[in-house]
Amino acid sequence: MWILIKPVMLLCAFSFIVGIGSIAFAGDPVTTEQLFQSAQSSKLRADNADVYAVRSYRDAAARGHTDALERLGFMYEHGRGIDQSFRKALIWYRKAAKKGHKFAQERIGFFYQHGLGVTTDTKQAQEWYRKANRPDQTSEQNNPDRIYKYGDVSKGLKRQFVSSLVSAQNGDIDAQQRIGSMFEYGRGVTQNQKKAIIWYRKAAEQGHAISQNHLGNLYANSDDDSPDYKPAVAWYRKAANQGLVAAQFNLGNMYTITFRYGYGVAEDPKQAFEWYQKAASQGHAGAQYELAQLYRFGSGVAEDRSLATYWYTQAADQGDPAGQEMLDHINGVDPDNSEPSPPTLARKIKSAEQGDASAQIKLARLYENSVGRTPDHRKAVYWYRKAAVQDDVDAQYALASKLEKGEGTAINPQEAAEWYFTATSLGKFGRYYYSLTEREQDDWNPASLMAFQTLLRNAGYYTGSIDGETGPGTKAAIRELCDCIFGS
């Protein structure tokens, strides 16, 4: 009898119920394709299109959509709508490649050829190019840029860029903002923050509030790790004075040392209160939470716990997980060991539905550790999977555990091993490394361990036998895969 060590959960989440009713579980082919098409169409939207696309790709990937798996790899590779990471891109390309996706297989070959997120390995590159039915790209006469551009942005986006550029050059401020956005996010053109600033500035100087706010964001979050907060504050203020709620929130942040770290303007809780209040009154959940914090601690305004509770509630009602956590704290509720009231459950569900990974984990744990009723492992699996595809390591280990044990889902040693591999490769100060390497032989499902060993060997970390034994070679491979900060 094998027993699984329960992973440590640092984050929390919630489960999806439509109107606190039924939920649409993974595996519905219509829903899966609609999610993928939603991601594809979101690329044509104006602001933050890539962020919306990533969100929909994750949902489709959670249901096993092959193209969505590959697209997530692409988004990580190019930093589109998410922080750029070759290592994470490789993880998602592998998932798609396993399902036979040719472009994903070629990208893996390219990564091995050029040492992106993995040690350079010409033989592995050649093998992946062969699987993709592509010519060997590892010789000197092949231009790597040609491969890198393969699968680049769609012709439709390029046409949109060209047509918008003509209008922008003729002084159309909305087109100037679109061109700035396309350069910022790399849609239809190579991503270029400096050119984004140029075009946003053209519109911003004509009073375009959205462009002013974007300029503030680009100055405050510079790609070269050298933010310039003074112009960020100046542009945020221009947009905020026009009533743009996002800019009002951003300006409030700049006066709050928690966000600002002492740059741009002097810390001024009264100014922070003024701008958070303006944004909160327009329904900005983040501003409502920060306003509650100021009321709670009497910072920039007289302390008022009842108003703090009011604004926490306003934020929580919009699905803000931090607001809900503070309400739980104020009411003395342990969210993991008590049955939530219907309003509280509704707020948790809303947070999870909005894609917040920590909210999804909390709701999953609520179903898993139900107080006073039978645990619903099926719903827990559903929400662990939703958080897992957002690269949440805690959810990935929890999901792997359930797949290995068959709790709330059929036993699936192969998928369990894949999630163990993914979570370990992302690493988190070694805590899961110790969890896996200290497991006794009887604690493993042998089929899961053998599948894990196979993945380790295919990735070049393990050279031993696929024997389902927790020997020193397997443990050393797990440690190398983790690349964790040990002793922390």
List the structure tokens of 215.
Answer: 């300029």
Number of other CB atoms surrounding residue 25 within 10 Å: 15
CA distance linking residue 174 with residue 42, whole number of Å: 19
CA distance linking residue 199 with residue 182, whole number of Å: 10
CA distance linking residue 91 with residue 147, whole number of Å: 19
- Phi/psi for 254 (5° steps) reads -65, -25
Q: What is the pLDDT along the chain (488 residues), one digit of tens a residue?
A: 343 332 322 223 322 222 222 333 333 333 555 555 555 544 433 345 677 678 778 777 777 788 888 888 888 887 777 777 788 888 889 888 888 888 888 889 888 887 777 777 888 888 888 888 765 555 543 433 333 333 333 456 677 788 889 889 999 998 899 999 888 877 778 878 899 999 999 999 999 999 999 999 999 877 666 778 889 999 999 999 999 999 999 999 888 864 544 456 778 899 999 999 999 999 898 899 999 999 999 999 999 999 999 999 998 888 787 888 888 888 877 666 667 777 777 778 888 887 888 888 888 988 888 655 688 899 999 999 988 888 788 898 899 999 999 999 999 999 999 888 888 877 654 455 567 777 888 888 999 999 999 988 887 788 999 998 888 898 888 887 776 544 33
Give the pLDDT score at 102.
85
Residue type, position 386, single letter: K
Give the pLDDT score at 51.
72
CATH architecture entry for 29-149: Alpha Horseshoe (1.25)
Give the pLDDT score at 351.
80
Q: Could you tell me if 366 and 351 are in contact, meaning their C-beta atoms sit under 8 angstroms apart?
A: no
Longest dimension (CA), the chain: 73
Residues contacting residue 123 through CB under 8 Å, at least 6 positions apart: none
Give the pLDDT score at 338.
63
Place of tokens 């679109």: 178
CA distance linking residue 127 with residue 40, whole number of Å: 30
Per-domain boundaries in the chain: 29-149, 153-206, 392-482
Helix axes 393-405, 377-388, angle to 10 degrees: 140
CA distance linking residue 85 with residue 113, whole number of Å: 17
Buried b (16+ CB within 10 A) or exposed e, 194-204: ebbbebbbbbb
Could you tell me the CA-to-CA distances from 127 to 74, 94, 120, 121 in Å, in that order?
20, 14, 13, 10
Could you tell me the CA-to-CA distances from 185 to 84, 152, 346, 448 in Å, in that order?
12, 13, 34, 40
Give the pLDDT score at 52.
67
Give the pLDDT score at 439.
81
CA distance linking residue 84 with residue 73, whole number of Å: 10
